[in-house]
Amino acid sequence: MSGIVVVGAGQAGASLVARLRALGHDGRITLIGAEPLPPYQRPPLSKAYLKGEMALERLFLRPQAFYADNDIDLRLGRAVTALEPVSRSITLDGERIGYDQLVLATGAVPRRLPPAAGGDLPGVHVLRDVADADALAPELAAGRRMLVVGGGYIGLEVAAVAATIGMQVTLVEAAPRILQRVAAPETADYFRDLHHSRGVRILEGAALARLYGDGRLEGAELSDGTRIDADCAVVGVGVAPATTLAEAAGIPVENGIATDAYGRTGVAGIWAAGDCASFPWQGGRIRLESVQNAIDHAETVAANLLGADTPYEPLPWFWSDQYDVKLQIAGLNTGHDRVTTRQTDGARSHWYHRNGRLIAVDAMNDARAFMIAKRLLAEGRPADPAAIADPGFDLRALMRG
């Protein structure tokens, strides 16, 4: 058995195999997933699925019959335990499978609190996959007390769900403010106020010392001695790229499995795509954690597997839903030196510049600003801060400048 083997049946892996068939590839394709479920979308796990508003089958990216219909050998609930680049083979629960080309689409894994800090107490959860969401859902009930550890997007989304159903929510963030790594103070202020208005208690600059409980979580102790009672906790302190398999095989890792602009790793015949992979971008190297990156990166790698030789040059974009607010982000705000706020009729956006150049936008309930910003960023057009700040200015004029 050989052909193209894809390890990881998430958004990237599923997008890659579908693209291979769409491009006319008629060779053998094997898609391997450690979870027992066919490839599914993850964003609803912290939103509609967690709230019980979306059935499991609606998460699936494609009907399971799609894989058989397209002659894709889908292996679910199977763990790859070894990768041997010299013999071009992987070991799958004791079974050796050969490959001509291998793609690692292993995704990312949630960071957990260590057992010494109470991270393994019953009642302490992370939220990355369906099993995590299914374990957390029974904890959600009006009047119960939830502790959220981490003020990033996952933590804030879970806090929003819990507050909406009437839970008493306390969120602790060790950094000076929520969204410290990913957004300007202006965006953090907006979401802090939003959560406060829904009854969420947010403690910033609050380092967690430990979670405690006798057989089950009972509360948290902060580094200053403050204690917080809790019936359950969700730890949302980021994810780490799943690189264990690659590292054991000697594949270079640099904030993820290091690839070139085409998706190739430093080992012949092995590629990487999605959350697990880092790649060259604007003179540096980045790794993106988003649905759109997983799709676009995987589809580019699929084309390159078939000889396209196309570099991956993404325009990053992301989104988050909290209460009745949809946040849409275009670009990356790293290194910004100016933030311009635009407020119009309930919609708000924050525009980031660096050295006079637009580099990113956060848009809250402002789909028009988001779409225009994406075009401006894609085309490298300027965006005058004074014009942006004027609520009477028609942003479409920026496209004609």
What is the per-residue pLDDT across 177-234, written as a single tens digit (0 to 9) for each? Answer: 999 999 999 999 999 999 999 999 999 999 999 999 999 999 999 999 999 999 999 9
Q: Tell me, what's the pLDDT at 401? A: 65
**Same structural domain for residues 231 and 245?**
no
Q: Which of 129, 184, 132, 124 is nearest to 150 (CA)?
A: 124
Burial class of residue 14 (count of CB atoms within 10 Å of its CB; 0-12, 13-18, 19+): buried
Domain end position, chosen among 272, 305, 338: 305
**Same structural domain for residues 126 and 206?**
yes
Report residue 207 as tokens. 């380092």
CATH code: domain of residue 296: 3.50.50.60
Query: Which residues span the domain enclosing 180?
Result: 112-235
Residue type, 172: V
**Same structural domain for residues 299 and 253?**
yes
**Same structural domain for residues 205 and 130?**
yes
- pLDDT tens figures, 138-168: 999 999 999 999 999 999 999 999 999 999 9
Whether 310 is in a domain gets the answer: no
What is the arrangement of strands in the sheet containing 89-92, beginning at the earlier edge strand? 80-84, 89-92, 95-98
Q: Tell me, what's the pLDDT at 346? A: 86
The whole-angstrom separation of Cα 328 and Cα 321 is 9
Residue with tokens 């990913």: 182
Q: What is the chain's length?
A: 401
**Same structural domain for residues 123 and 228?**
yes
Q: What percent of the chain has pLDDT over 70?
A: 100
Cite the DSSP H helix spans in 165-261: 185-197, 244-248
400 confidence band (pLDDT: 50, 70, 90):
confident
- pLDDT tens figures, 259-281: 999 999 999 999 999 999 999 99
Q: Is the separation of the CB atoms in 221 and 210 below 8 Å? A: yes
Whether 317 is in a domain gets the answer: no
Whether the model pTM is above 0.85? yes
**Checking phi first, is residue 282 left (phi over 0); if not, alpha (psi -120 to 50) or beta?**
left
Check pLDDT > 70 for residue 1.
no
Question: What are the C-alpha distances in Å from 126 to residues 13, 76, 131, 203, 262?
Answer: 23, 22, 10, 20, 33
Check pLDDT > 60 for residue 25.
yes
Query: What would you report as the CA-atom Rg of the chain, rounded to the nearest whole angstrom?
Result: 22
**Same structural domain for residues 70 and 182?**
no
Overall number of domains in the chain: 3
Q: Is the separation of the CB atoms in 395 and 388 below 8 Å? A: yes
**Same structural domain for residues 128 and 219?**
yes
Whether 170 is in a domain gets the answer: yes
φ, ψ for residue 281, nearest 5 deg: -160, 120
Question: What are the C-alpha distances in Å from 343 to residues 312, 364, 366, 391?
Answer: 34, 10, 9, 6
Three-class SS state of 22: helix
**Same structural domain for residues 177 and 272?**
no
φ, ψ for residue 4, nearest 5 deg: -95, 125
**Same structural domain for residues 98 and 245?**
yes
The whole-angstrom separation of Cα 394 and Cα 401 is 12
